[in-house]
Structure 1
Amino acid sequence: MSFPPACFGDATDSTNTQGHKDSRQLVKAKYCYPGEDTTSSNKIFLSLYEEEQAFEEPGWPEDHELSGVDAMEFCTETRCETTYRPTIYFVSRIFDSIKGFHKGYLDLSGRHPERYYQLQSQWNRFLWGLLRLDSAVEPPEYLDLLGVVHARQERWRRFLTKWRLPESTSYNQLIQCAQSVLRELKQYPMPLFQMTRLTGLPSEILDNIMGLANPDQAQALSNTCHRLNNIGQRHIFATWPMKFRVPPYVSPFNVEYSSFDLPTLANFSRKDFERNAQYILRSPHIAHHVKRLILSDEWCVNRRAHPHENNPFALGVNFYASITRIFATVLRAATNVTELVLYNLEVNVDLIRKIGDNHSLHTVEFHSCHIPRMVRRRLTSDPNLICPRIANLRIYVDSSFAETHTQWYTILLCPHARTLSVIQSGVGPFPAPDALFWLHSRFNSLERLVLDNIDAPDLAELVKLFRRSASASAHMTHLKLHMDWGISDAEALSLLLVLNAAPLEVLVLEGLAEAESALFEQIAYQYPALLSLTVVRRQNSSQHHNKFATWPHASWEYAPCFRRFRALRHFCWNFRTEYWDATPSALLAFEANFALPAVAVPYRPGPVEIDLTDGAPPYFLDTHWMALPFAAHCPTLQSFSLMDRTVDMMCKIARHPTTGETNLAPKYHPTHSFVSWNTQQWNTAGAHWPPLLPKIRVGH
């Protein structure tokens, strides 16, 4: 749905009008919105059919702003002939807008009296001009050479030009469209004016609307009035990407045989990158809204595709010195940035110091970056080369490129990190960090840990680290171990045993090759105060994703292992089950003649009530019966879930406070409204836990 300029505020309001003009100028500015290519026009479409019209009419002047009502003042016959390519969209906008006023369809598109009176005047002019034409008007090839026919033909041509209609338009088509509008006006004679406007809502609600909108929608909303522009900027500019780009037509393969002058292209890319940086440096009101800053080097990606010495994408040290200075300058200008994302960068000492000097930054992501040997030595020898405010560290390693494994040393940068995520991908062996790195590694503040597909040698070194330093796990409450390739129970237990002193609340084990009952018993014995447990098994060596799997035992055989849990609320696993397999419980529905909304189980003391108010047939969906043994052995259990790629079935478990009767409410493919809590409490979103704020205040 497009939003005309007059839709959110009074058309006569000078503040809103000025805000709309300011925001229109902002849209036209180059490098205005993040993520846009420098060649894009950044045009925001606010009216009905405006996007289609712009696509069909590339000759429209970019510096002229037209609404559907004001366009006729600009569109003279001469200008229309020389500037515009005729389409049907201009007249279609008039038809649909006038119908929208009378049917009330344009609730957020400005159904205000001022706009209606202007639109009605335009509609009357069109209808009057159409009715003045003779119904015998035909295409030119069917007309004779009489003077009166030539006059009619000229009048028809002027009418088409005035309303920007193509020559293929026929008189009968316009009559039919006009009749359709008149029928709507007869059925809905009174226009419905908009009484409540979006700008009349509290700022908190408008801010929430902007937060839920995608970037394109937020840009369109922010260009309607001054107030929405101020609110929208906090969301539009919350993420600011800066890329040292490689032109899209340059392929990293066989480039040495092409005619491209890569050094010249690199200089042009640097100038483009500098203009992008200068824009945000000259716009402190935009830099103030940046919360997530992304720095990316695409030349490094292409350079890795050429491991030989004569690398065509190799750039000099002095060349990259200016790029690093620009990165550091923008980072310093973004005074409210909280999250920094680095893609394919060579992290030097200067950049590390700029990260450490930023007082608002608390989350850093390293994606396939490279830590040079000199910097690694400084990190293991200089205790002052740290970033003490960073509370959330995320490391993404690509095993296809060995140099990305040096990102392990970024752990030394963040001695006060509260969350740590190490995610490895790619194919190939990893060079393990040297012994000096593990000797200097400390996790004195670590609370949430994610280990995703890390190598067995690295996992063994981490086990040694936690065994050597008991304080490393003293604050750990969340642990996730994810493996695409199945990991044995013994390897998983080796990590859990060294974390025996950790006050774990949430445990996620994804990728177990065995998943025997002994593992559950050890978890329950070691962490009786656990709040959430998620276990995913790999059925065989060919299964690498979280999917349903066949487990070695029946589901109820695992339930007795849950007796030791004193506070467990949520349990999720990927036990394979067929939802539509009928069981003998269907006999209960037959006996009741399918008349009861709930089925009572007479052979259990304290009957279990199965809530079927959601309309699910009781004689089909019996999977929730799987939750009963777990609920019986673990009285604190509140939810029981089955996971495929995501949570596929969730069964809520409630108990009567007096009688203790258990009520099960199963839901298949649960929506967010069904889940009363945030599922991120029990598992990660993507590959990391939600960020935490730093506890320490350095320099204050």
Structure 2
Amino acid sequence: MDSEDEAQLAQEKKKLFSVHVPALRLYEDEEREAKILAYRQYWREIEERNNTGDEMPHDDVSRLAHYDSSSFYRVSRFLKSFIRFHEGSLDLSGRSERRYSSLRKRVIAFLQDVELIQRHATRHEQRIQIPLRFEHVLVHYVVDPAHILKDFEEKYRLSNVHTFLDDIFTNADRCRALLQAETAPILQQKYLTDLPPELIHRIMDVSEVTEARLLGATCREFHEISRAYAFQTRSLTLGKTLHRHDDTKADAMHYRERFQSELDFLLSRADILQRIRDLRISSSWDDDSLERADLAPGSPAHEDFFAPVKRGILRVFNGTNNLLQLHLDQLDITRSMISAMSSMHALSTLSLSGCRLGSHLRSWSRAPQLPQVVNATFTLFYPAHYDSLHVLRILPNVQKLTLVGLGYNDWAIPESVILLCNPFRTAKRVFISDYADTDEDILMLAAWIAAASQGPGQRLPLTHFKLEVKRGIRQHVLITLLSALHGAPLTALSLVGLSYVGQELFENLASAFPDLGALTLVHRQNDLQRRNGPSVWPGTTWEYAARLAGFANLRYFGWNFDIRPVLVDVMCNLPLAEKNDEEAKSLLLFQEPVDYASDWQSLARLFLVYCPMLERLLFISDTTSQLECIITKDQSGKITIDTDTFTYVHQDYYKEVNPRSGV
């Protein structure tokens, strides 16, 4: 059989729980799923037996084979591959003469063994009447003597063959008929290698890096073509998380040596370096891990340990002239690194996650500029990382800016950064997540935004803006923020964490941003509600629908209005229902919305009365939707509304109008 090669069997076992690759042969996906299901059922039985005190050895292979139905797909692939050679339709492995010759020899040998089973098998039928449908016939065979079937299973490494003998006999008869008729197979005449090279280049270009590497592994010709695409993305990681029980200092030295060997390999391959377009260099060690290894940031030991690492990274920077995207995680940024980045003329995206500025960079008087960078992302874990925002001073042309706080505490932009630079003069898209929720910090942000439009002829270029805070923004702060944004040509606005959602909010939005096409509003019912789950808004759906009448071009509206009914079994739980925080969710029963499409369509039509251009209405619940209404119109003006409950909102459309952290 085609899967009996020992090396191939071993490789398939390694791939079982690894990244899925495209299926090249018949029933590969089904076989893989059957193996996974067998493992799950096997371990579930072990767990159940352990819970009842009836232990089962973990190496009881017979029990695993009991659940394994993958043999059916292996045999089916083997026999049907031969049949489909004669039908002219097979799989991605192709219908070559070499493959057919090999397959034909093994099919002949396999059919001889199947014929032996057929001679000793007795067919039994059981008819089952399915009410109001049809009569179903169950077929099974009894093989006598039983060792014939057992020997067959051992020879071909199969299991549970008795459950699909009827399929084996049927396909075996078809194969015999083809052999006896001596019909010629329909061999493949055209191959992928026959396509012009420019088409292969185009296929590689639109494929993911992983797919380009897979295609390049098929033959020498494709390998040569794939070299320009297979190495476009590269990731280098220093170490892994240092746990308390580890010999942290020794582990750190070991991982540094491994990291330097990866750098040395990359530096020895100038051809790969020149092809890299997306480079990520990261350290797995946060501040706590470094302290446990006696390498606390800022200490002499830290500087000595990371000195060769910084030199190696700098050498890689100097060798990558065609880089488009650069991501640095939990590293110290030095002046030499910035100078090397300034020589990367194609660099357009810079991402700094948990990075610190080296001591020599804290003086920016002669720091080189990075005018080529238009996309910038800063992820801040701890206050020590806030200084990395000073890099904004050397990004004079940034157009997309993402500022994300992922620490335990909310963060705020340092006043020194606000005084010395202003990216809002050039930025068209700004996403600020987990920002400080004090009035003073939000008012300082509003003043920073307003300062960018001061002066004759200056105007905010913002088209997309999102601000996400955990506590609710109060009314006077919110109005000040909207006043700072006034005049920007916003087409997408997302405000996550609002305490005030009254009439004045919608009037200000409609007058300030007449071209707004996408609006997302997330309300905080009280200071205890921090997540973006459903919230009880102070008004009704029809009241808020009327407030959207001022948005003539609105095509998307997302909000976290709670449409779930709440069951309160006793009156003492009523305060919890009104509280709407994490404690309340654990004690109360929130019913899911009943999926009545006609009711939801009526809700969408209510909003269409005031927003005739509306295409999507979304009731937000964290990363999912309570309800999603998709509205379409045909050329005659007929309206169709499709509704769905609890769908994931990770599609590109929602990343565009309401991006999430890290997007």
Check if 1:667 corresponds to 2:657: no
Equivalent position to 1:244, from 228, 238, 241: 238
What is the SS of the residue equivalent to 2:83?
A: helix
Check if 1:510 corresponds to 2:496: yes
CA displacement 1:370-404 (0-9 Å, x = unmatched)? 1244412x22x33x432111101111111xx3212
2 CA distance for matches of 1:334 and 1:566? 48
Question: 1:492 and 1:373, CA in 2 relative to 1: closer, same or farther beyond 3 A?
Answer: farther
Structure 1 residues 530-539 or 226-235, which shifts more?
226-235
Alignment of 1:28-39 (within 5 A): none
Equivalent position to 2:557, from 571, 579, 584: 571
Aligned length: 545
Q: Which residue of 2 aligns with 1:641?
A: 618
Q: Which residue of 2 aligns with 1:328?
A: 314
Does the 8 A contact of 1:3 with 1:221 survive in 2? no
Check if 1:403 corresponds to 2:397: no
Q: Which residue of 1 aligns with 2:277?
A: 291
2 CA distance for matches of 1:49 and 1:656? 44
Question: 1:127 and 1:426, CA in 2 relative to 1: closer, same or farther beyond 3 A?
Answer: same
Equivalent position to 2:91, from 107, 111, 114: 107
Which residue identity lines up with residue 599 of structure 2 in the other structure? D
Check if 1:624 corresponds to 2:567: no
1 CA distance for matches of 2:423 and 2:160? 79
Which residue identity lines up with residue 81 of structure 2 in the other structure? G
Question: 1:525 and 1:177, CA in 2 relative to 1: closer, same or farther beyond 3 A?
Answer: closer
What is the SS of the residue equivalent to 1:426?
A: coil
Which 5+ residue runs of structure 1 have no aligned equivalent? Answer: 6-27, 29-39, 57-87, 137-155, 580-616, 689-700
CA displacement 1:517-539 (0-9 Å, x = unmatched)? 22111100111122221222234
Q: Which residue of 2 aligns with 1:147?
A: none
What is the SS of the residue equivalent to 1:241?
A: strand
Check if 1:433 corresponds to 2:414: yes
2 CA distance for matches of 1:427 and 1:407? 18
What is the SS of the residue equivalent to 2:237?
A: strand
Q: Which residue of 2 aligns with 1:486?
A: 472
Q: Which residue of 1 aligns with 2:376?
A: 393
Q: Which residue of 2 aligns with 1:63?
A: none
Which residue identity lines up with residue 255 of structure 2 in the other structure? S
Does the 8 A contact of 1:568 with 1:636 survive in 2? yes
Q: Which residue of 1 aligns with 2:175?
A: 185
Question: 1:271 and 1:558, CA in 2 relative to 1: closer, same or farther beyond 3 A?
Answer: same
Q: Which residue of 1 aligns with 2:324?
A: 338
Which residue identity lines up with residue 469 of structure 1 in the other structure? A
1 CA distance for matches of 2:156 and 2:114? 13
CA displacement 1:95-121 (0-9 Å, x = unmatched)? 733422314784212233331122112
2 CA distance for matches of 1:548 and 1:205? 49
Does the 8 A contact of 1:524 with 1:561 survive in 2? no
Alignment of 1:111-150 (within 5 A): 111-125=95-109
2 CA distance for matches of 1:328 and 1:534? 42
1 CA distance for matches of 2:178 and 2:646? 42
CA displacement 1:20-43 (0-9 Å, x = unmatched)? xxxxxxxx9xxxxxxxxxxx9xx9
Does the 8 A contact of 1:548 with 1:574 survive in 2? yes
Which residue identity lines up with residue 424 of structure 1 in the other structure? G
Q: CA RMSD in A?
A: 5.0
What is the SS of the residue equivalent to 1:622?
A: helix
Q: Which residue of 1 aligns with 2:450?
A: 467
Check if 1:501 corresponds to 2:476: no
2 CA distance for matches of 1:537 and 1:412? 34
Does the 8 A contact of 2:393 with 2:420 survive in 1? no
Does the 8 A contact of 2:521 with 2:559 survive in 1? yes
What is the SS of the residue equivalent to 1:452?
A: strand
Q: Which residue of 1 aligns with 2:400?
A: 419
Does the 8 A contact of 1:565 with 1:634 survive in 2? yes
What is the SS of the residue equivalent to 1:470?
A: coil
Question: 1:188 and 1:414, CA in 2 relative to 1: closer, same or farther beyond 3 A?
Answer: farther
Does the 8 A contact of 1:274 with 1:326 survive in 2? yes
Does the 8 A contact of 1:416 with 1:443 survive in 2? no
Does the 8 A contact of 1:4 with 1:224 survive in 2? no
Check if 1:275 corresponds to 2:261: yes
What is the SS of the residue equivalent to 1:393?
A: strand
1 CA distance for matches of 2:163 and 2:642? 56
2 CA distance for matches of 1:212 and 1:578? 43
Question: 1:220 and 1:466, CA in 2 relative to 1: closer, same or farther beyond 3 A?
Answer: closer
- The alignment-based identity, stated in percent, is 23
Q: How much has 1:686 moved relative to structure 2? A: 4.6
Q: Which residue of 1 aligns with 2:431?
A: 450
Q: How much has 1:288 moved relative to structure 2? A: 3.7
Does the 8 A contact of 2:24 with 2:93 survive in 1? no
Which residue identity lines up with residue 120 of structure 1 in the other structure? R
Q: Which residue of 2 aligns with 1:362?
A: 348
Q: How much has 1:623 moved relative to structure 2? A: 1.6
Does the 8 A contact of 2:324 with 2:349 survive in 1? yes
Which residue identity lines up with residue 530 of structure 2 in the other structure? H
1 CA distance for matches of 2:28 and 2:603? 55
Q: Which residue of 1 aligns with 2:511?
A: 525
What is the SS of the residue equivalent to 2:403?
A: strand
Does the 8 A contact of 1:3 with 1:109 survive in 2? no
Equivalent position to 2:216, from 222, 230, 239: 222
2 CA distance for matches of 1:131 and 1:560? 77
2 CA distance for matches of 1:685 and 1:646? 12
1 CA distance for matches of 2:482 and 2:298? 48
Which residue identity lines up with residue 642 of structure 1 in the other structure? F
Question: 1:633 and 1:129, CA in 2 relative to 1: closer, same or farther beyond 3 A?
Answer: closer
Which residue identity lines up with residue 324 of structure 1 in the other structure? K
Q: Which residue of 2 aligns with 1:652?
A: 631
Does the 8 A contact of 2:492 with 2:518 survive in 1? yes
Structure 1 or 2: larger helix share?
2
What is the SS of the residue equivalent to 1:651?
A: strand
Q: How much has 1:543 moved relative to structure 2? A: 3.7
CA displacement 1:649-675 (0-9 Å, x = unmatched)? 123153867xxx6624233259999x9
Structure 1 residues 207-216 or 638-647, which shifts more?
207-216
Q: How much has 1:317 moved relative to structure 2? A: 2.4
Does the 8 A contact of 1:112 with 1:194 survive in 2? yes
2 CA distance for matches of 1:536 and 1:131? 70
CA displacement 1:85-144 (0-9 Å, x = unmatched)? xxx9999968733422314784212233331122112333555689899x99xxxxxxxx
Structure 1 or 2: larger strand share?
2
CA displacement 1:319-371 (0-9 Å, x = unmatched)? 42221122122233333321111110011111111112111111111111112
Which residue identity lines up with residue 354 of structure 2 in the other structure? S
2 CA distance for matches of 1:50 and 1:653? 39
- TM-score norm. by structure 1 comes to 0.65
Does the 8 A contact of 1:90 with 1:164 survive in 2? no
Higher relative contact order (CA 8 A, sep 6+): 1
Question: 1:666 and 1:50, CA in 2 relative to 1: closer, same or farther beyond 3 A?
Answer: closer
CA displacement 1:527-573 (0-9 Å, x = unmatched)? 11222212222344444333333221111212333333343332222
Which residue identity lines up with residue 628 of structure 2 in the other structure? M
CA displacement 1:209-231 (0-9 Å, x = unmatched)? 76887776654443223454456
Does the 8 A contact of 1:3 with 1:220 survive in 2? no
